[in-house]
Amino acid sequence: MDAFNTLNAVDVNGHTEKKNGLTYLSWAWAWAEVKKRYPESYYTVYENAAGLNYHTDGKTAWVKTGVTLIDGEKALEHIEYLPVMDMRNKSIPVGNMTSFDVNKAIQRSLTKACARHGLGLYIYAGEDLPEGEEAEKKVPPTPLPRKITESPSPVTVEKTATVYSPKEQINAIKRKYGVDDEGFKRIRQTLILGGCIEDIPSSKMTEADWQQLFRAIEVNFPLDEAGGAT
């Protein structure tokens, strides 16, 4: 079994906790599990040009960490970026940031870097069990019944087959923050850089991907910080 599948098969549920509706995995336990299986592995906290252990655009900040997994003669590093956030998972202005906030972001970033190697990755995907156990225990969800309010007709079928379009919500966000198309793109790129959302081309994003993006904007860019987003 390769390293990813080995780590991905580990059940981490006994070492997680929930805060504000999100699941967090103990960074110390995660790193111990990696080292038990691959003892020569190591992590890196990347500093900026000034030697600080965080990076900033002058308004908010983020950390950059990497976990290099050593499996025999193979070495693979996965890098993770994470914004420095408060207890509500909102970016902290640089002037209000403390060393404790940075250290906490580094620990969370390292845990997510371990997840990129497989350990606990399923909890970031919103699943309850590792992939192997899930195939045996997880029952496919039953679709909710749809209330029919009129007799079936060609018009009714056409309406239910429409493709989801995020245009209306995008326009609402642009109006809310006073940005144009480029400003919206910069907000999205900031969230991708910070590891809040996946880097998926717009043409391939599903409705769930768009809704995750809109939620991430709402959480990370409250209205009083909108100027920093653009």
Mean pLDDT of the 150-161 span: 47
Percent of the chain residues topping a pLDDT of 90: 43
30: nearest Cα among 87, 86, 108:
108
What residues are paired with 76 via a beta bridge?
69
pLDDT digits (tens, 9 = 90+) for 18-59: 776 678 888 899 999 999 999 999 999 999 999 999 999 999
- pLDDT at residue 78 tops 90: yes
C-alpha to C-alpha distance for 116 and 93, rounded to whole angstroms = 28
Residue 224 has pLDDT above 60, yes or no: no
Residue 156's pLDDT is 45
How many Cβ atoms from other residues are within 10 Å of residue 23's Cβ? Answer: 15
What is the helix, strand, coil percentage profile of the chain, to 5?
45, 15, 35
Q: Provide the residue ranges of all domains of the chain, joining segments of one domain with +.
A: 3-128, 163-229
**Closest alpha carbon to 193 in 80, 113, 76:** 80
pTM of the complete model? 0.56
Does residue 191 surpass a pLDDT of 70?
yes
CA count, 13 A, side-chain hemisphere, 101: 20
Residue 95 clears pLDDT 90, i.e. is over it: yes
